[in-house]
Chains A and B, each alone.
Chain A
Amino acid sequence: MSSLSRDDVAKLAALARIEMSEEELVSLASQFGVILDAVARVQEVNLDGVVATSHPQPIQNVFRKDVVQPSLTPEQALSGAPAQEEQRFRVPQILGEAE
């Protein structure tokens, strides 16, 4: 039986940038054993020499012509912004105080 501890889940949540309550961490950790057992079935098959598929169809990189196309106005682009200032997205502090 696979398992993840509460601390493992906390580490993953931090990587995924999701703050989680203690209750949520514990409950997710307790569910993960069953879920991991179910998905670990992919390891039961002999996969030697099998090529991985990342996409269902043969695709190549698609380029478009390098011509200017109509795009959003600054007002449209900012219309959904949680906060704005001087026609820019206002974001919280990115660098620490010391920097």
Chain B
Amino acid sequence: MSDALSKGEVTSTQLTQAHLDRIADVDPAVKAFLHVDAEGALTQAARVDADRSAGKKVHPLAGVPLALKDVLTQEGIPTTAGSKILQGWKPQYDSTVVSKIKDAGIVILGKTNMDEFAMGSSTENSAYGPTFNPWDLARTPGGSSGGSAAAVSAFEAPLAIGSDTGGSIRQPAALTGIVGVRPTYGAVSRYGLIAYSSSLDQAGPFGRTVLDTALLHDVMAGHDPKDATSINGAFPDVVAAARKCDVKGMKIGVIKQLQGEGYQSGVQARFDESLQVLASLGAEIVEVDCPSFEFALAAYYLIAPSECSSNLARFDAMRYGLRVGDSDGASAESVMNATRNSGFGHEVKRRIILGTYALSSGYYDAYYGSAQKIRTLIIQDYAKAFAQADVLVSPTAPTTAFKIGEKSDDPIAMYLGDVATIPVNLAGICGMSLPAGLADEDNLPVGFQIMAPAMADARLYQVGSALEAALVSQWGGHLISKAPALGGSK
């Protein structure tokens, strides 16, 4: 698309209109979007077209449409984080990520559905109803960035942005057959990213190819004085890495703890085949041991709820958002209690209560304190593993896309879906999921996860591009071309 735009074969206005038409056609079934900003998108597209025809130098992605997860603020555009407590709120400022994509001339089509405050793995926890997986509308697209992943997978947008606190970019990318990257913690500014768990949250790109994803990653990353945890240093050239397609001599570590038992047979089979492909391309495959990973899920479900119980205290019905029960004589406290009861969904309440418990005096050391120590052990496991290998790999999720409602009454089963993605977040490193094929038993996409040390994001793209090129030539096209047709017109 970027090529066609720069050669003048298509205008951004045409491209944007085509995607708006596609959204009108298929989104009633997929429900990826919470808000479509057709007017804003076409205005931005016309501006880029004018700049191009005036011969101005523009970014390679200028004029390319994008879907934005509803967790990032965009000035004047409704932003809800999938929650009723923010219904109707229009932010007064752009998040840094939005400023950067606007500066690059990227066209924002609208805001995508998500699990409320990014708490979930299926997008079923949205206050505005679930998103449906374009591969099989009876199944979830994963979550929490399920709307963004489904939009890219259903050709409603070529690019999208999500956020990843425990796997919320990589898992939906895996379940919808696309590419998704969680960058190194601190590489992408969190200014204007509505906080769930501040020490784990990170926004990142989705695309249908490794190179598309790299181009968007490159736009998003960079130091930001508005985020005190933003890294101030030299950022890796992910675009050059995505063009390398070469793994000769690289060492690839398979994490013993993240495969085998508990992984669906079709998932394991596609993972094993991808490993053979990498070996045939000249990579050396080694096995690495990360014994503390067994406790990662438990540590995550203490750390994230603890941080969220504190972060979500800001929704107090005083300065913005919903206010309930504000009748004559009602106290601020009773208004707060009533607003938070009707504004928050079930999963959000469950995590706030769990976090409040884990941080309460008498339990702090046993729960939150222990979880933080497990976090140290996980970082040490990674350090040892990365001494033996350039990148580490695993299946992204233990299963393919599950049915809507299948796990929504069983929090533990739902949480288990994040078992392979969570260690990356706890250690603050980076990870990618890319399509590894379809599982034999259900013909649904399987994700292959690549992990690299902090600020070594380029390695993800180098290995990812090599594996993608080999698999695409084997399949005779991108995996996404095998997805069932949706809608009527195209």
Interface residues of A (CB under 8 A from B): 4, 9, 12-21, 24, 28, 31-32, 34-35, 38-45, 47, 50-57, 59, 61-62, 64, 72, 76-77, 79-83, 89, 91-94, 96
Stretch among B107-115, B266-274, B366-374 lining the A interface: B366-374
Task: Knowing A12-B357, A24-B349, A31-B411 are in contact, say whether A53-B372 is a contact too (CB < 8 A).
Answer: yes
| Contact between A42 and B352, CB atoms less than 8 A apart | no
Q: Nearest chain-A residue to B229 (Cβ)? A: A59
> How many Å lie between the Cα of A34 and that of B411 in the bound state?
9
- Return chain B residues, CB-CB under 8 Å to A43: 366, 370
How near does chain B come to A97, taking the closest CB pair, in angstroms?
A: 9
Number of interface residues of B (CB under 8 A): 74
- Return chain A residues, CB-CB under 8 Å to B340: 16-19
Contacts A19-B341, A41-B298, A42-B367 known; 16 new A-B pairs at CB < 8 A:
A12-B357, A12-B360, A15-B356, A15-B360, A19-B337, A24-B349, A34-B412, A38-B297, A51-B373, A54-B372, A56-B429, A62-B225, A82-B321, A92-B332, A93-B332, A94-B331
- Return chain B residues, CB-CB under 8 Å to A35: 301, 350, 354, 411-412
Q: List 15 A-B contacts (CB under 8 A).
A: A9-B353, A18-B341, A19-B334, A38-B301, A52-B372, A53-B376, A54-B199, A56-B426, A56-B428, A62-B225, A72-B93, A80-B319, A82-B321, A89-B318, A94-B332
| Contact between A81 and B298, CB atoms less than 8 A apart | no
| Contact between B330 and A81, CB atoms less than 8 A apart | no
Interface residues of B (CB under 8 A from A): 89-93, 185-186, 199-200, 225, 228-229, 231, 292, 295, 297-299, 301-302, 309, 313, 316-323, 326, 329-338, 340-341, 344, 346, 349-350, 352-354, 356-358, 360, 366-367, 369-377, 379, 411-412, 415, 426-429, 454
| Contact between A72 and B92, CB atoms less than 8 A apart | yes
Q: Nearest chain-B residue to A27 (Cβ)? A: B346
How near does chain A come to B211, taking the closest CB pair, in angstroms?
A: 28
> How many Å lie between the Cα of A83 and that of B91 in the bound state?
16
SS of B interface (majority): helix
Give me the 3 closest cross-chain CB pairs, A-B, nearest first.
Answer: A56-B428, A80-B320, A82-B323
- Return chain B residues, CB-CB under 8 Å to A18: 337, 340-341, 344, 349, 352-353
How near does chain A come to B313, taking the closest CB pair, in angstroms?
A: 8
| Contact between B331 and A92, CB atoms less than 8 A apart | yes
SS of A interface (majority): loop
- Return chain B residues, CB-CB under 8 Å to A47: 370, 373-374
> How many Å lie between the Cα of A76 and that of B93 in the bound state?
9
- Return chain A residues, CB-CB under 8 Å to B90: 79-80
> How many Å lie between the Cα of A32 and that of B321 in the bound state?
29
| Contact between A31 and B350, CB atoms less than 8 A apart | yes
> How many Å lie between the Cα of A76 and that of B89 in the bound state?
12
Q: Which of A17, A64, A81 contacts B337 (CB 8 A)?
A: A17
| Contact between B341 and A42, CB atoms less than 8 A apart | no
Q: Which of B295, B302, B326 contacts A82 (CB 8 A)?
A: B326
| Contact between A38 and B344, CB atoms less than 8 A apart | no
Task: Knowing A57-B454, A82-B323 are in contact, say whether A20-B349 is a contact too (CB < 8 A).
Answer: yes
> How many Å lie between the Cα of A27 and that of B301 in the bound state?
19
> How many Å lie between the Cα of A16 and that of B357 in the bound state?
10
